[in-house]
Structure 1
Amino acid sequence: MKLTGNTIFITGGTSGIGRALAQALHERGNRVIISGRRRALLDEVTAAHPGMAAIQLDITDPASIAQAAETIRRDFPETNVLLNNAGIMPFDDAAGEIDDVMAQGLLTTNLLGPIRMTSALIEHLKTKSDATILYTSSVLAFVPLATNAIYSATKAALHSYTLSQRFQLCNTSVKVQEIAPPWVDTDLIYRSGDPRAMPLGDFIEQTMLALASDDPEILVDAVKPLRDNPGAQEHALVTAFNQSVADNPIPVAV
């Protein structure tokens, strides 16, 4: 995608990767509109970046999505980029009883949320001569993390949906790109400074360079070995990956 001259709507833009991407895109002269549930955080981010706008949005609520889309079409009709970034990452245990409320919340936020948000804006985006839909998935879409089985499954499903949507839109002005981050040191899990987590600044720098291309997948170097999931040998890869994490558990906030 082009990195300047856009009007960009970002879900989940008040923290972590979403906030950092909003800042980076804003600094390049794009008109950036962030969204999130909490008005105080929206106000904090926009106050820190004059010219940035905000729309309150609950990505789990279809009515809230419809209202946000209406606001965009009315107040920001030049919007040509949608970045579906909102997501949550609770731990679970696939070897035990799953909390159904947690599972439904994950599916609604991480999968139905971006599908619904895109659906609400897709016809608007088709009217633009140069439009892009971006999805933030995860390296876990390709190699699941056993301690976050449902989260990994939502990202795998989002990756699959992205592939289908890209094909369906191939003869339109709308491009579809997928950002698949590695473990980045943000508050999605716990900001810990763990050396295995990629510093947020490094991730944003590499991602912005990759976004300047028309590549369907936006991958930093750390992701590429795991993205090349070796087909029929994936069971060995997934087992080795998860054993390495089990041997050195991810820290959890207390």
Structure 2
Amino acid sequence: MKLTHNTVFITGGTSGIGRAMAEQFHRLGNQVIISGRRKALLDSVTAANPGMDSVVLDVTDAASVQAAAESVLSRYPALNVVINNAGIMPFDNAAGVQDDAMAVSLLNTNLLGPVRVTSAFIEHLKKQPDAVLINNSSILAFIPLASNALYSATKAAIHSYTLSQRFLLRDTGVKVIEISPPWVDTDLIYRSGDDRAMPLDAFISETFEKLGTDNIEAIVDRVLPARANPGANEHTVVNQFNQSMVENPIPVA
């Protein structure tokens, strides 16, 4: 995709990967509109990045998504890039009793959120030159983390949904790109400084290098072995990965 002279809308743009991507697009000279649930946070990010704009949006609320899309498109009819980034990552227990409210919230945010946002913008994107739809999945789409089984499942679903979108949009001008972050040191769970986590600035730098190509996936190199999950042998890979996490767990604040 071209990295300049776009009008970019991104969900979950007040922290972590979302904010870092928004600020990098902004530095490159794009018009960026971020979204999130809390206006105070949106105002803080836009104040730090003069020229960036924002809209309040709750991806779990279909009416909120539709209203935000109408507002954005009325102000920015040249919008040509939509980034589905908003997500949450609670822990869960697939081997025990699940918190139903947490499970519903997770699916509503991570899976139905991108579905709603895409639905609200897709007909507009089809009419735009250089239109791009970017979906943020995860390395856990390919190798699930057992302690976050539902989160991993939502990201696997986003990967699958992206494959279908790309096929269905093949004869339109909309390019569908997937990014699949590794463990990045952000506040998605909490910022840890763990050596296994990829520094945010390094992730953004490499991701934008990949976005600037014609590839349909902008996946950093450290994720590629997981992306090449070996089919029928995946259980061995998944078990080895999760055993390593049991032996060296993510520290919890």
- Is 2:18 aligned against 1:15? no
Superposed CA RMSD in Å reads 0.5
Q: Equivalent residues in 2 for 1:136-147 (5 A)?
A: 136-147=136-147
Distance 1:220 1:246 in 2: 25
Which residue of structure 2 aligns with residue 33 of structure 1? 33
**TM-superposition CA deviations, 1:125-160 (whole Å, max 9, x none):** 011021000011000000000000000000000100
SS at match of 2:111: helix
After TM superposition, the score normalised by the length of structure 2 is: 0.99
Q: 1:214 offset after TM fit, Å? A: 2.0
User: 1:1-254 alignment to 2 at 5 Å?
Assistant: 1-253=1-253
Rounded Cα–Cα distance in structure 2 between residues aligned with 1:129 and 1:77: 12
Could you say what secondary structure the match of 1:218 adopts?
A: coil
Deviations 1:6-35 (A, max 9, x none): 000000000000000000000000000000
| Structure 1 residue ranges (4+ consecutive) displaced by more than 2 angstroms after TM superposition | none
Per-residue Cα deviation, 1:213-251 (whole angstroms, up to 9, x for no partner): 121111111101111100000000000000001000101
Secondary structure at 2:9 match in 1: strand
- Matching residue's letter, 2:18: G
**What count of residue pairs does the alignment treat as equivalent?**
253
Identity score, percent: 66
Distance in 1, Cα, partners of 2:84 & 2:139: 16
Report the residue type matching 1:119 in the other structure: S
**2-structure distance, mates of 1:176, 1:223:** 19
CA distance, structure 1, for counterparts of residue 224 and residue 245 of structure 2: 18
Q: Is the 8 A contact 1:190 1:251 kept in 2?
A: no
C-alpha distance after superposition, 1:48-86 (max 9, x if no partner): 000000000011100000001101221111100000000
- Could you tell me the TM-score, scaled by structure 1's length? 0.99
Structure 2: which amino acid aligns with 1:135? N
Amino acid at match of 2:241: F
Check whether the contact 1:81–1:132 (CA below 8 A) recurs between aligned residues.
yes
1 CA distance for matches of 2:219 and 2:120?
Answer: 27
